[in-house]
Copies of this chain bind each other. A is one copy, B any other.
Amino acid sequence: MHGYTFFHRASRAFHDHPSISKLLVLFTISSGGLVAFSDAKPSHSVSAGAFQGDFKKKRVVVLGTGWAGTSFLKSLKNPSYDVQVVSPRNYFAFTPLLPSVTNGTVEARSIVEPIRNIVKKKDFDVQFREAECLKIDAVNKRVYCQSTQDTNLGGKEEFSIEYDYLVVAMGARSNTFNTPGVVENCHFLKEVEDAQRIRRTVIDCFERASLPSVSEEERKRLLHFVVVGGGPTGVEFAAELHDFVVEDISHLYPTVKDHVKITLLEAGDHILNMFDKRITAFAEEKFQRDGIDLKTGSMVVKVTDNEISTKLMKTGETQSVPYGMVVWSTGIGTRPIIMDFMNQIGQTNRRVLATDEWLRVEGCDSIYALGDCATINQRKIMEDVAAIFSKADKNQSGTLNVNDFKYVINDVCERYPQVELYLKKKQLKNIVDLLKNSNGNAQNESIKLDIERFKLALSEVDSQMKNLPATAQVAAQQGSYLANCFNRMEECENNPEGPLRFRGAGRHRFHPFRYKHFGQFAPLGGEQTAAQLPGDWISIGHSTQWLWYSVYASKLVSWRTRMLVISDWGRRFVFGRDSSRI
């Protein structure tokens, strides 16, 4: 009974922060039990006995085993959760190597690691369920799942799981822009199975083209490989396919090799448009030298079972070409279940789930979303400008001087990362300079800003906000960030480490998520890679390929996969790529 009274008192004390209070309360009242759990001190264990019935581990359900979900699981260390993972794939796949799998430079099995292998190293219980989540019920805190096996092991097994915290990391699907015929006739490159299927189809095309009854025209059709989308994946796939054909296939299929044609279609004016112009130019020149037919400004309007129709963006002219295989790689779209969930929680007319800077889904309680299925809705500084002003103006004088502002300066920069981006763009040293500017370049000490001048100084800052790219790097950093929050829930509730709450009292519990960009690679084939590293540092060529090898090898999820991928690379150098149709 003593426990209950304390529980109620504690509950009331944290009433104003409902979303975080539960955990803190839980940890406070059950810390005796927890210590007993970890240290096995009998005296504590007895005194905590009365709570044993009430103390239930918080149930965390993780949806997805991609970059975000796996990174979360790997970094989660706090044993006070009961974790269930639901995913149709019982493994994590190192997706940046998928293009290499399409032609056998790397084996499919070398880039995957069973989730059960990853979680078995934990000293607490993580249950994995090989199933697909069909529905999230945010009201009753429950997810509905169905087994995905299509074998004859029985009907579709259905079940539901209750959660206290839900981590949505389901990724995205390929975006077809509703182009007719794409789903039916194109290959995608998001899953390991996709890559395996592409590999088989390439071999199929060559085998079929080698049959004696096939006409010359049909042979040309079969060996016309089309890649749609000039992003990093499409470009890498086209380059890898070209290498595969030139280095390996042409020796094995000498009679048909001359008919091979690779076309890369891109609706924009250039490929790799998220990269520096120098990289784009290098890639385009290299493709031209390699004989890859690069068609920019071409939008695909229709795909039939043997023809692909494109529209020239400039002239509007349409054209149809026969093909043997099309690989569609034009960016990501929303999964139906995420769409359904967004409707449920009122996030309509959005492409992906919106979260706050702590990765909490807006409008929901205890639901987090990360990776490709979510974007962070960065708070605008202009929305809070009055609150910031009044927080800084401690003596309520109606004007701010530099010393006033110094009190909030770090918190402002942390809470609104766009400020730093804006300073960088304007080449200002710090925010004080920004305020100075709007005050007619006065000396530091004499700066006096009223609210209007303050607003004016910050008015353009929000223009620097932009969404993070949908990359593995972002997802992985979000996963480990969120796991660290979960690891230190209790600790940070007591000692909040985040920035000031400008609209409320106290501080935010955690630092908001901040993405660190480590650069991006664009493999271009022929043992050459382009890299754009932080600080607009560009590197292109054979040495960058070796940088690529070493970075990817070091980023692999386990020593096992690392060894396998490296041995695959070595094997390819020695023996070439395999062309068996399995």
Contacts and interface: CB of A to CB of B under 8 A. Distances in A.
Interface stretch (A22-30, A46-54, A206-214, A274-282): A206-214
Interface stretch (A123-131, A310-318, A452-460, A526-534): A123-131
Given A130-B581, A149-B208, A218-B154, A571 B575 contact: no
A139 interface: no
Given A89-B581, A154-B218, A158-B213, 5 more contacts: A130-B207, A130-B581, A151-B201, A157-B211, A560-B574
Contacts of A185: 152
Contacts of A306: 154
A112 B580 contact: yes
A324 interface: yes
B128 A213 contact: no
Q: How large is the interface on A (under 10, 10 to 19, 20 to 34, 35 or more residues)?
A: 35 or more
Interface in A417-465: none
Nearest to A201: B151
Contact of A580 (B113, B129, B207, B222): B113
Contact of A251 (B109, B120, B210): B120
Nearest to A567: B567
A1 interface: no
Contacts of A13: none
A505 interface: no
A159 B107 CA distance: 34
Q: Is the interface of A mostly helix, strand, loop or mixed?
A: mixed
A193 interface: yes
A159 B147 CA distance: 43
A564 interface: yes
Contacts of A211: 129-131, 147, 157, 159
A507 B66 CA distance: 72
A225 to B, nearest CB: 12
A153 B324 contact: yes
A153 B212 contact: no
Interface of A: 89-91, 107-109, 112-114, 116-117, 120, 127-131, 147, 149, 151-154, 157-159, 161, 185, 192-193, 196, 200-201, 203-205, 207-208, 210-214, 218, 222, 251-253, 255, 305-306, 324, 559-560, 563-564, 567, 571, 574-575, 578-582
Nearest to A84: B212
A120 B252 contact: yes
Contacts of A147: 207-208, 211
A222 B196 CA distance: 28
7 contacts: A108-B582, A109-B582, A112-B582, A152-B185, A153-B205, A157-B214, A567-B567
A120 B249 CA distance: 12
A90 to B, nearest CB: 5
Contacts of A214: 157
A128 B210 CA distance: 8
Contacts of A251: 120
Contacts of A564: 571
- Residue with the greatest number of chain B CB neighbours at <10 A, chosen from A153, A207, A253, A571: A153
A134 to B, nearest CB: 13
A150 B581 CA distance: 13
Contact of A571 (B112, B131, B563): B563
Contacts of A116: 252-253, 579
A563 B573 CA distance: 13
A229 B216 CA distance: 49
Q: What 9 pairs between A and B have smallest CB-CB spacing?
A: A159-B213, A91-B580, A130-B207, A116-B252, A560-B575, A112-B580, A114-B579, A149-B204, A114-B580
Given A563-B571, A571-B564, A578 B109 contact: yes
Nearest to A214: B157
B192 A582 contact: yes
Nearest to A207: B130
Contacts of A582: 91, 108-109, 112, 192-193, 196
B153 A208 contact: yes
A367 to B, nearest CB: 21
Contact of A210 (B129, B207, B574, B575): B129
Contacts of A204: 149, 151, 153
A549 B480 CA distance: 43
Nearest to A112: B580
A204 B205 CA distance: 31
B117 A153 contact: no
Nearest to A200: B151
A324 B108 CA distance: 27
Nearest to A130: B207
A266 to B, nearest CB: 24
Contact of A222 (B90, B107, B153, B201): B153
B578 A114 contact: yes
A505 to B, nearest CB: 42
Contacts of A112: 578, 580, 582
Nearest to A116: B252
A327 to B, nearest CB: 14
B109 A580 contact: yes
